[in-house]
Structure 1
């Protein structure tokens, strides 16, 4: 169920609603800004640590955020 919510899997039946909207009708960008998923098993590639850190930006054809790479403190609670 969590993988369906994170859009890693598609539901085989039924629909998923988020904020009264069918997720299938939302843009992936809008939905991914509101929902995130952290797998319990890390996925690292046989490359440098830097290359693993910038991979999400590379697949989106964007430049890495230097502040994110420096490891600013995580805001875990509001």
Structure 2
């Protein structure tokens, strides 16, 4: 049994939220990343478990976007 099946059986409401999140993102986020994000949203006390297990690519994490550093002009030689 794979992790998706186990999650669907053990937490169907959270799994439905994850599928909705995937659909809303245009199917860019993986089921695992969406499931973890919806689980953390409902149970913030489990935040530590998100980082300790599964290691998905950073692009698939459902985290807020990073603010780019300010643009700086290159220094002119004297």
What TM-score bracket applies, with the shorter chain setting the length?
under 0.3
More strand by share: 1
Q: Specify which structure has the higher proportion of helix.
A: 2
Which structure exhibits the higher relative contact order, with contacts defined as CA atoms closer than 8 Å and separated by 6 or more residues?
2
Instruction: Give the alignment's TM-score, normalised by structure 2.
Output: 0.27
